Amino acid sequence: MKASYAFIRELLPALTASPRELSDAFTFAGLEVEGLSEFGAASVECVVVAVLSKRPHPTKDKLALVTVDLGEGKTQEVVCGAPNVPEPGGLVVLAPLGAHLPAAAGGKGMTMARRDVAGVPSEGMLCSESELGLSDSGEGILVLPANLADPGTRLSDAIPSSHDHVFEINVTANRPDALGHVGLAREAAALYDLPFAMPSLAAVLAETAGAAGGVIGDVVRIQVEDAAGCPHYGAAAITGVSVHASPLNVRYRLAALGVRSISNVVDVTNLAMLGYGHPMHAFDLDRLGGMIVVRRAKAGEKLATLDGVERTLDAGDLVIADAEKPIALAGVMGGATTEVHAGTTRVLFECAYFDPRSVRRSARRHGMHTEASHRFERGVDPGDVEEVLAHALATTRALAGGKALDGMLHVRADMPRPQPIKLQRVKMDRLLGVSHDWQAALSLLERLGCTVHGTATDDEAELRPPTHRPDLLRSVDLIEEVARVRGIDSIPAELPPIRASRDVGGREELEREVREAAVSLGLSEAVTFAFLSPEDLANAKAPPAFVGLKNPLAVTQSVMRTRLLPGLLQAVGRARRHGVKDARLFTIGRTYVAPDAAARAKEPVDPAGAWPVDERTSVAAVFVGERPSWLQKPESLDVWDVKGTALELVARATRGVWTATAERLDATVEGAAHLHPRGAARLMARGRQLGTFGPLHPDVLEAFDLTAPVFVLELDLEALRAPLEAADRVVYKPIPRFPASARDVAVVVKDDVLAGAVVDEARRAAGDLGQEVALFDRFTGGSIPEGHTSLALRVVYRAAARTLTDAEVDARHTEVTQALQRAFGGQLR
């Protein structure tokens, strides 16, 4: 909210702090000042002058040479291009030589210097409101009302509100009192220990129209049908007003606070709101039909609000109605039919306390957020209704004339008074960890409007909070007041003794292990959104979403993912379109699926409620592009790259405890439809499926607009969270003491023979002496017959307790070669 330094000073004349000092004081008391700017800076340097005469410019017919009276007998001639230079005697504003106008020149600012306008020297300029920074309108120069001030008076003296300092305050939701200048002045008084008192309005109320104007109760009747929605409805009326534009002093005050001036009567309500933080409304009394009803709307009722929108009301909306139809949406916005207009002579002012929740619901339902609803939602002061109405009457009389009708109307239900709160010294000191002066604390609370209830002792006191502080409900709220006004920053630092406890959930460490493993395997981590579009899931042949969002920001973020892959595929697609051809990305995140009822039945009941859905932590990776090579022609990645990464990822993430294997997977089964049928595989360990990997199915590539082959890997980390088994440890095996002998064998087999089967057979045949069998060459073409492949194996032989002789090794190796020939009909090479 914007706040005016000058307005605060008017309410608290004893305040001597500068705008900058006050800004810091507010910030460190919890009213965060996010910006401080100067309004009408030029007003201090510009002066009121009177036009003495004007004559045409010798060469330019759009310009005039104006002689002005600067006061004290001084005159000056300036060149002026405005069409509205008044006749002699009219008051205008001169920016003299050296004056700086920050808002002039389209906001770039300018400093007045002697200049030559088409051959005529000019030492100064007659200013428009926009050049002075006082309004957005640039229609000609500012012409002041006659007799406003003597020539030579500074503009900021002639119109005090033309110069101000404006705070931009971020008022938190618990401080509705700070949404008005009275509240800010009261706060400043507490912070600087100054006396604060509102000016008495008794005199205003005494001076009414008397019998001639009538009694308010005779001209309007108020009926509140929903006391819960409107515990207090107050009204006052004034007759004989003249509706016109507000004087400049009011217009500039409003402009400084970002409020548009409408007319003197409407401005009265805005001034009251800006002053008290209590919104009010002005009705044209002659259009009300003598009746105000506060009630819930009938579903489907229509109301044309002041913003020119015709709204269809909901049965939950609280409205102000006349005898037949709604005329305002309570606490949100008035209606067009009873608006104050140029011909209005009798005005009814409304000042009410509306239920915050009711106002909030209506405002949200209609997508409206107004200055009024913002304040009512947070809770206006229920104790200042009469004062606000009196203030409105007084201001109206000053700005629009007229006489108040006798009396006010108040329809009120029992509003609970703020209850006294017990504050204990020892509790305060213990919570803050520091001892504050007790008497100082009590007097500080009194300055904030609390009243001591009964007698305070040295150890405790009962304090009743003021009606303008609905946030003060318990003793901690009072303790916070003491802490924040005394300076929360003065609390000392002391490390707490922390009692050790265990992790809950355990995902953080597992995720860290997996992240380390993936990064060590050359993958880079991505963070993808948990929500995506239903199409994204369909495109990735993933299960449809279990959870949809009611109010997504966009359809592309409307359902919760069941797989991590779509987000990664989109990232890869974007990267490729930007010319990045190689990408190896992984992401760790949750997928959201239907609760597994069987698994949950075994779990103990959670007093905080079971997790609404099953959130499975997963890791997914994508590989696209080329394998790193060194000064050679690079080679494209293939399915064995992802296989190698997949197996190693499991090993590294479990610190070598788990050894995973890869199995071919029927791609038509659930969970693998996104994989290319030739390369679909699943990752197994301990008899459990941990995940899947393989080349992406061409349908999926196409759906994600990917042209190069992409290889993917998905791993369910929940499977890795299985409790450690006894075997889940690395068991030391003695280092071999006797040497090994290696023999190679190459065998030519038909293409459909699996390399793994050949290795397995060799391992079987090598028996107890075979320590290791490794495939080291795979070759087709050349001298190898069509449809065949040559596989070369190295078999390492070793005995645990002795050195093998060459003869023993040769004999066993012969058995291996014969076994391979027998099993696969293979030719030896």
Partner 1 sequence: MSSIDQALADLRAAFPARFAAAETEQALRDENAKILGKKGELTAILKEMGKLPNEERRATGEKVNLLKAEVEKGFEARLAELAKGKRDADLAAPPFDLTLPGRLALPRGHKHPISRVREDVVAIFRQMGFAVHDGPEIELETNNFERLGFPPDHPATDMQDSFWTEDFGGGRTLLRTHTSNIQARAMMGQKPPFAFIAPGAVFRRDDDVTHSPMFHQLEAFVVDRGVSMAHLRGVLSEFAVRLYGPDTPVRLRPSYFPFVEPGAEVDIGCAFCKRPDGTRAGCNVCKHTGWIEILGCGMIHPVVFEQCGIDPEEFTGFALGMGLERVAMLRYDVDDIRLFTENDPRFLEQF
> According to CB under 8 A, which residues from 523 to 542 bind partner 1?
523-531
Beta strand 326-329 pairing with 164-170: unpaired
**Cβ count near 597 (within 10 Å):** 7
If one asks whether residue 202 binds partner 1 (CB under 8 A), the answer comes out as no
Of the candidate residues 65, 148, 336, 571, the single one contacting partner 1 (CB under 8 A):
571
CA distances from 395 to 205, 260, 272, 385, 390 (A): 12, 18, 9, 15, 9
If one asks whether residue 805 binds partner 1 (CB under 8 A), the answer comes out as no
Q: Are 331 and 372 in contact (CB under 8 A)?
A: yes
Positions in 741-760 near partner 1 (CB under 8 A): none
Name the residue type at position 672: A
Report in angstroms how near the CB of residue 390 gets to partner 1 at its nearest: 29
Report in angstroms how near the CB of residue 680 gets to partner 1 at its nearest: 25
Report in angstroms how near the CB of residue 337 gets to partner 1 at its nearest: 30
Q: Which residues contact 498 (CB under 8 A, 6 or more apart)?
A: none
**Half-sphere exposure of residue 168: CA atoms within 13 angstroms, side-chain side:** 7
Of the candidate residues 197, 202, 211, 553, the single one contacting partner 1 (CB under 8 A):
553
Q: Pull the structure tokens for residue 168.
A: 């931009």
Q: Are 569 and 542 in contact (CB under 8 A)?
A: no
Q: Pull the structure tokens for residue 105.
A: 């020149």
Q: Pull the structure tokens for residue 312.
A: 């269809």
Report in angstroms how near the CB of residue 603 gets to partner 1 at its nearest: 12
Of the candidate residues 546, 651, 740, 794, the single one contacting partner 1 (CB under 8 A):
546
Which of 398, 519 has the CB closer to partner 1? 519
Phi, psi at 574, each rounded to 5°: -60, -45
Give just the sign of the alpha carbon dihedral 520, 523, 529, 535: negative
Of the candidate residues 118, 580, 722, 800, the single one contacting partner 1 (CB under 8 A):
580
Q: Which residues contact 669 (CB under 8 A, 6 or more apart)?
A: none
Report in angstroms how near the CB of residue 588 gets to partner 1 at its nearest: 8
Which of 193, 516 has the CB closer to partner 1? 516
From CA 497, how far away is CA 501, in angstroms rounded?
13
If one asks whether residue 506 binds partner 1 (CB under 8 A), the answer comes out as yes
Which of 364, 678 has the CB closer to partner 1? 364
From CA 25, how far away is CA 474, in angstroms rounded?
25
Report in angstroms how near the CB of residue 486 gets to partner 1 at its nearest: 10
Q: Pull the structure tokens for residue 385.
A: 């209704």
Which of 244, 574 has the CB closer to partner 1? 574
Report in angstroms how near the CB of residue 660 gets to partner 1 at its nearest: 19
Site string for partner 1, 370-389 (x = CB under 8 A): -------xx-----------
Residue 614 pairs in a beta bridge with: 593
Which of 371, 582 has the CB closer to partner 1? 582
If one asks whether residue 708 binds partner 1 (CB under 8 A), the answer comes out as no
Positions in 324-363 near partner 1 (CB under 8 A): 356-357, 360-361
Of the candidate residues 108, 114, 550, 602, the single one contacting partner 1 (CB under 8 A):
550
From CA 423, how far away is CA 477, in angstroms rounded?
10
Positions in 137-196 near partner 1 (CB under 8 A): 172-175
Report in angstroms how near the CB of residue 738 gets to partner 1 at its nearest: 32
Q: Choose the stretch contacting partner 1; rule: CB under 8 A; options: 142-150, 222-230, 233-241, 470-478.
A: 470-478
- Tokens 């970002």 — which residue? 258
Report in angstroms how near the CB of residue 751 gets to partner 1 at its nearest: 29
If one asks whether residue 585 binds partner 1 (CB under 8 A), the answer comes out as yes
CA distances from 50 to 160, 163, 609, 647 (A): 19, 21, 78, 91
Positions in 611-640 near partner 1 (CB under 8 A): 611-613, 615, 628, 630-631
Of the candidate residues 284, 480, 536, 761, the single one contacting partner 1 (CB under 8 A):
480
Positions in 17-36 near partner 1 (CB under 8 A): 27-30, 32
Q: In what order do the strands lie in the sheet with 614-624?
A: 524-525, 583-593, 614-624, 710-716, 688-695, 681-685, 661-664
The footprint of partner 1 on this chain (CB under 8 A) covers a number of residues equal to 100
